[in-house]
Amino acid sequence: MNQTVIPDFFRQILDQPVNNLVDQAQEQGKKAIAYTCSYVPQPLLSLDGVFPIRVRAPGVVGTPMADTYLSSVICSYTRSVLELALEWAFDSLDGWVFAASCDHLRRLYDNLDYLNKPAFNHMIDMPHRGGAAAEKWLAEEYKSLGAALAESFGVDASPQALSRSIKEHNAYLSVMREISKMRKQDNPPVTGAMFQTLLAASTSAPKDMVMDELKALLARLREGNEGKPYRARVLLAGSHCDDPGYIDVIEKTGGLVVAERTCTGSIPALAPIPENDAPYETLAGQALANISCPRMMESFQARVDEILEAVEEYRADGVVLQTMKFCDTWGVESGPMVQELRKAGIPILKLEREYAMSSEGQLQTRIQAFLESMGK
């Protein structure tokens, strides 16, 4: 049987910071809203008349202009996005929504507001822990965002409209979960790089414009095509990683990435959203239950446990914990997490990287040594 190849349709979406599908949707009168963090709820930015775009910075090779305005210890994702913003790459977008999830993204918000102020620039005040008070606070923050969208773009942000948006988003999540489940197979027909391409592309374009292609790909995958040979099953964990090329290097070396426990990966991004008559409160509760980012306090052991559960569920042989250089939250937590996973008997490789792909040969060497250390 033949191996399934990811369609060029999805690859081409990732070639540019703002792709042609975004342009087409805007020509139809819809408004493109950029966001940078998974704590910004996609359904709220998918109300009728607007659509969300998770900001990426493909092709950035240096950040000379951003370096002028940002501290030298700001992560390279933040620097890369600001660099492209200062090059006017995002000027066609209609607005930005941030979550106060880390100081680096707050500085991006501040600099955009000062240097190249978007027509719509909104910040969500994100609590650092869960609980009834936090859920109430965050629900009000989401309602404030809904009201701002309604005022600026004339959208219907009522609970009923948001419930419809959640239902549509769940339909997308259902297709992606079906594809993700195939990665549990002994010889899965979808690789980690393929899945990351699908996930990154579908969050970089209007979802109604990619759903037919996703469904068609799911049908082809169900035909039982065989996967590529591999030496070991790997779980990718850690910080923001939206580049399929990074996973591709791991897989070219013999590791098969079967799941990603990252804010840009499959876990917990594909969890269905409960459908009820209190959508703002539901989104707040689900966001606070997402403790995948170390910015959520008093949740370290829960993060370790969730990684251990994912290792078992996807039958991973080991974990690659990648952290972006200067990421404060993962910089603090990665050391203790490595110790806890090793105590549990899980082979783990810790890697530090920049946002833009570099030193591919060094990465291959590290992965090769890791696979050999597992006897693979």
Greater pLDDT, 4 or 86: 86
Q: Is the pLDDT of residue 4 over 70?
A: no
Q: Is the pLDDT of residue 330 over 80?
A: yes
Q: Is the pLDDT of residue 271 over 70?
A: yes
Lowest mean pLDDT among 31-45, 216-230, 302-316, 348-362: 216-230
Q: Is the pLDDT of residue 182 over 60?
A: yes
Check residue 268 and give its pLDDT.
84
Rounded mean pLDDT, 20-34: 98
Check residue 6 and give its pLDDT.
81
Q: Is the pLDDT of residue 227 over 90?
A: no
Are 91 and 26 a contacting pair, CB within 8 Å?
no
Rounded mean pLDDT, 318-341: 96
Residue 35 has phi, psi (to 5 degrees) of -145, 160
The beta-strand segments (E) located in the chain are 31-35, 50-54, 95-99, 121-124, 232-238, 255-261, 318-324, 348-353
d(CA 253, CA 136): 47
* Cα torsion angle, 296, 264, 124, 140, sign: negative
Q: Omega before 272 cis (within 30°)?
A: no
Lowest mean pLDDT among 63-72, 167-176, 357-366: 357-366
Check residue 3 and give its pLDDT.
59
The model's confidence at residue 146, banded by pLDDT at 50, 70 and 90, is very high
Burial class (CB in 10 A: 0-12, 13-18, 19+), 300: middle
The model's confidence at residue 14, banded by pLDDT at 50, 70 and 90, is very high
Check residue 224 and give its pLDDT.
77
Domains located in the chain, CATH noted: 1-375 (3.40.50.11900)
The model's confidence at residue 1, banded by pLDDT at 50, 70 and 90, is very low
Q: Is the pLDDT of residue 210 over 50?
A: yes
Chain position carrying tokens 């696979």: 371
Are 261 and 306 a contacting pair, CB within 8 Å?
yes
Residue type, 208: D
Per-residue DSSP letter, 129: S
The model's confidence at residue 19, banded by pLDDT at 50, 70 and 90, is very high
54, two tokens: 């998770």
Q: For 113-133, what is each residue's pLDDT tens digit?
A: 999 899 999 999 999 999 999
Query: 256, 192, 210: which is closest to 7 by C-alpha?
Result: 210
Check residue 137 and give its pLDDT.
98
Q: Is the pLDDT of residue 2 over 70?
A: no
